[in-house]
Amino acid sequence: MSRAAPNEGWLPAACNGGHAYRDRVSAEYPSVVAFYAGRYTHSDRAVWSERLAAGEVWRNGQQLLADAPLAAGDRLVWHRPPWQEPPVPVLNKASVVFDDGDLLVLNKPSGLPVLPAGGFLQHTLLAQLQAWAPEARPVHRLGRFTSGLLVCARRPASRAWLSAQLRESTEGAACARSCRKLYRALCQPLPADWATGETRAITRAIGRRPHPLLGQIWCAAEPGDSGALPSSSALTLLERRAEAALVEVAIATGRPHQIRIHTAAIGAPLLGDPLYRAGGLADPAVLPGEGGYQLHAHRLSLSPPEGELIQLEAPPPFELMLHA
């Protein structure tokens, strides 16, 4: 089984070069401001009006300096000016858990976003990866504050089969060539009748619900939600602590924020998670990228189309080790 130690070093806060956000209008709108305020709810109409007045918005290749109606098919570009990105951990050779020239598995540090999102453009794992493995691409995501095993691949064919395994892996002999993903986490105390070493299944479906800052967010699904995604986790209590429980979570589906939602759904949110409340709903004032919780992708088994089973491990941080 391959192992890797966590990395050290940080990339300091720095301004990026700005970014162009492109949209194509699918229907008529009374104004540019109405379109943007409805599509990107992180900013209200007043903010979008200021951006329009500053000349940041272009329509069909022409800069707009005043609001105007939109027709279906119009192409908009918001030229966001440069902004400062927060400091992030740096990948180094110690981050590599496995590399066979195609498959590349990294031990991602907590605090490093995988792909551009949430105010990050260049301070991402993807950008760092391109500097020393330009053909490699992440096959899946881990949350910014989730550490541990992240799978990348250089060949498109490899990314295809890996993505299928990681997205819809299931347990059991009938799917012997699927992957197995094990996480460590600290959650709020579990019920007193949950014995140390006991495993229980969590099968709460995950769906989208309204969120004032994002428009929609993934949460524990409402009953009868036809668009909800079936989800399956198996949670094992490893150790009880004074105000927390150390748990291991095996996930058989790769849904957005699955572990954070599932632990919250059973009344034991991840310790320090500012977003998901007991019951599995989201705090309306918090965004998914905010940290404070301990979650680590600890072990991974992959079955390539050809060859032997690959078993990988990234040792957990001290807080997620057994202390008894």
Q: Which of 46, 81, 116 is the last residue of a domain?
A: 81
**Start-to-end Cα distance in the chain:** 25
**Amino acid at the residue 107:** N
Alpha helices in the chain (DSSP H): 32-39, 45-53, 125-132, 156-168, 258-265
* Distance, CA of 91 to CA of 11 (rounded, Å): 10
Task: Examine the domain organization and report whether 289 and 184 are in the same domain.
Answer: yes
Instruction: Tell whether 119 is covered by a domain.
Output: no
| Host domain of residue 74 | 19-81
Q: Which residue has the tokens 């066979």?
A: 100
Instruction: Tell whether 169 is covered by a domain.
Output: no
Question: How distant, in Å, are the alpha carbons of 96, 144, 187, 204, 239 from that of 282?
Answer: 34, 17, 16, 15, 27
Instruction: Tell whether 195 is covered by a domain.
Output: yes
Residue 32 CB partners (closer than 8 Å, separation 6+):
48, 52, 57, 59, 64, 67, 68, 70, 76
Q: What is the dihedral of CA 256, 258, 262, 265, to 10 degrees?
A: -10
Instruction: Tell whether 55 is covered by a domain.
Output: yes
Quote the pTM value.
0.87
In this structure, the strands spanning 233-240 and 199-202 are antiparallel
pLDDT tens, residue by residue, 50-103? 999 999 999 999 999 899 999 999 999 999 999 999 999 999 888 999 999 999
pLDDT tens, residue by residue, 226-251? 999 999 999 999 999 999 999 999 99
Quick one: tokens of 206? Answer: 């995950």
User: Apex CA 209: angle with CA 77 and CA 145, to 5°?
Assistant: 75
Instruction: Tell whether 189 is covered by a domain.
Output: yes
- What was the pLDDT predicted at 98? 96
Q: Which helix (H) or strand (E) holds 141?
A: none
Instruction: Tell whether 197 is covered by a domain.
Output: yes
Residue 85 CB partners (closer than 8 Å, separation 6+):
13, 14, 15, 16, 119, 120, 121, 122, 123
- What was the pLDDT predicted at 169? 55
- What was the pLDDT predicted at 168? 59
CATH number of domain containing 204: 3.30.2350.10
Which of 147, 180, 313 has its CA nearest to residue 252? 180
Instruction: Tell whether 135 is covered by a domain.
Output: no
Residue 323 CB partners (closer than 8 Å, separation 6+):
239, 241, 246
DSSP of 232-257, one letter per residue?
A: -EEEEEEEE-SS-EEEEEEESS--TT
Instruction: Tell whether 143 is covered by a domain.
Output: no
Cα torsion 109, 110, 114, 120: sign:
negative
CATH number of domain containing 66: 3.10.290.10
Beta bridge partners of 206: 220, 229
Low pLDDT (below 70) residues in the chain: 1-8, 167-178, 324
Which of 185, 170, 180, 183 has its CA nearest to residue 300? 180
Number of domains comprising the chain: 2
Q: Which residue has the tokens 């792909």?
A: 115
Beta bridge partners of 148: 108, 297
Inter-axis angle of helices 32-39 and 45-53, nearest 10: 130
- SS percent in the chain: helix, strand, coil, step 5: 15, 30, 50
